[in-house]
Amino acid sequence: MRVRSAFLLLALLAALPACGSEPRPDPGPAPRVVAGYFTEWGVYGRNYRVKNLETSGAARRLTHVKYAFGKVDGGRCTVGDDWAAHQKPVAAADSMDGVADQATDPLRGNFGQLRKLKAKYPQLKLLWSFGGWTGSAGFATAAKDPAGFAASCRALLDDARWAGLFDGIDIDWEYPNACGLACDASGPGALTGVLAALRAEFGPKALISTAVPGDVGKLRATDYAGAARHVDWLGAMTYDYFGATTTGREFRTAPHSALNAYPGIPRATATTEATVTELLNLGVPAEKVLMGVGFYGRGWTGVTAAEPGATATGPAPGRYGKGIEDYHVLVDRCPPTGTIGGTAYARCGGQWWSYDTPATIAAKVAFARSRSLGGLFAWELSGDTAGAELLTALSS
């Protein structure tokens, strides 16, 4: 906990001008979007509910919440998990207004609570996100009939049970015309066709966004400048550049979300700065670029040294997956021992983790402002502390 306090103090001191010095020039316009993903499955093992957005203070700091994920099945938008989304009864203690769901209520679960959240925080905009790492296979079919896909999404968002809840839609295709969990060969114009159909279906006032890869090579595989014409913003997934999940090669530690390159980085373009620069060079307007920040760490075990680049035997254990853990767990269990490339790392015993802290996020916000970007977003909100330390830094 002392390390965390020190990082917060350094961030505050860094924001103050030196005694007797001239005031620092304005680094750029303040980001207008502070978005965060709320995961549908968080209500299970993570026990993260809509009410946590209020108790943590996140609801006051966010401008947009992205609800992840709906499914793309047969080229059509469908509910991801009906039970969690709109059927699961919420107890009084877990409810936004302290009132328990009844069996006769037409809308329960996350959607019922999100409706109560928006009533209390009317400034919040809500988007339903479709796809994700394990749910992107259906986009290839959707790209063959963009108008039919768009019509199905509009019908789903307008379902009488939750009509008016969502202000728009987010497309998380990983990755168009490139490889994610599987490889796609829909062509460089496929994403643009899907987004153009969504804009035509939803109209000019609806919010439409799309996630885009952090990998520079994947960015060059699709016409993202064309896609940008039809959306309010593109959310760059500027994290997961490295991790201990790859098999069949030697494991070496490397920060998964560096802001900029550092001596010895395994791949020079595996940084937030390189991703943002590539998007701008491709012709995407800066005001339509959102920069992603991970609220979690990537970890290795069997590590031989404290500095990045050390050999390891494999991924460190995590509660929900190998080599991955939430920030609110890591900051106490394995607190930061250093920074490199604009992000933090930690060595504890034989484990090595990389993750962002309030101080490194403050630097990323300053970078976003210096490039006049549209804003930032978090993947995902349950990884933060009970007092939303990371989101506080993201929104400052």
Digit-coded pLDDT (tens) for 182-210? 999 999 999 999 999 999 999 999 999 99
Residue 256 lies in a domain: yes
242-263: average pLDDT: 86
Specify whether the CB–CB gap between 238 and 257 falls below 8 A. Answer: yes
What pLDDT is stored for residue 29 in this prediction?
Answer: 66
Q: How far is CA 222 from CA 218, 254, 309, in A?
A: 7, 27, 32
Q: Which residues are catalytic?
A: 174
Mean pLDDT of 282-297: 98
Q: Are 369 and 31 in contact (CB under 8 A)?
A: yes
Q: What values do phi and psi take at 128, rounded to 5?
A: -95, 120
Alpha carbons 104 and 91: distance in angstroms, whole number: 14
Please classify residue 102 by burial: count the beta carbons closer than 10 Å to its beta carbon, then call 0-12 exposed, 13-18 middle and 19+ buried.
Answer: exposed
Provide the pLDDT for residue 250. 77
pTM: 0.92
Q: Is residue 208 domain-resident?
A: yes
Task: Tell whether the model's pLDDT for residue 44 goes beyond 60.
Answer: yes
How many distinct structural domains can be found in the chain? 1
Q: Which domain CATH number covers 152?
A: 3.20.20.80
Q: Is residue 260 part of a domain?
A: yes
Domain membership flag for residue 321? no
* Tokens read off for 258: 């560096």
CA angle, 358 then 30 then 114, to 5°: 70
130-to-117, 151, 314, 390 alpha-carbon distances in Å = 21, 14, 31, 25
**Structure-block tokens of residue 356:** 């962002």
Mean pLDDT of 25-47: 86
Is 230 within the bounds of a domain?
yes
In-domain check, residue 166 = yes
pLDDT of residue 328: 98
Q: Which phi and psi angles does 284 have, rounded to 5°?
A: -80, 125
CB within 8 Å of 247: residues ≥ 6 apart: none
To the nearest whole percent, how much of the chain has pLDDT over 70?
A: 91
Render pLDDT for 306-329 as a digit per residue (tens, 0 to 9).
999 999 999 999 999 999 999 999
Residue 3 lies in a domain: no
Identify which has the larger pLDDT, 335 or 396: 335
Containing domain of residue 254, as a range? 30-295+356-395
Flag whether 150 is in a domain. yes
Q: Are 142 and 76 in contact (CB under 8 A)?
A: yes
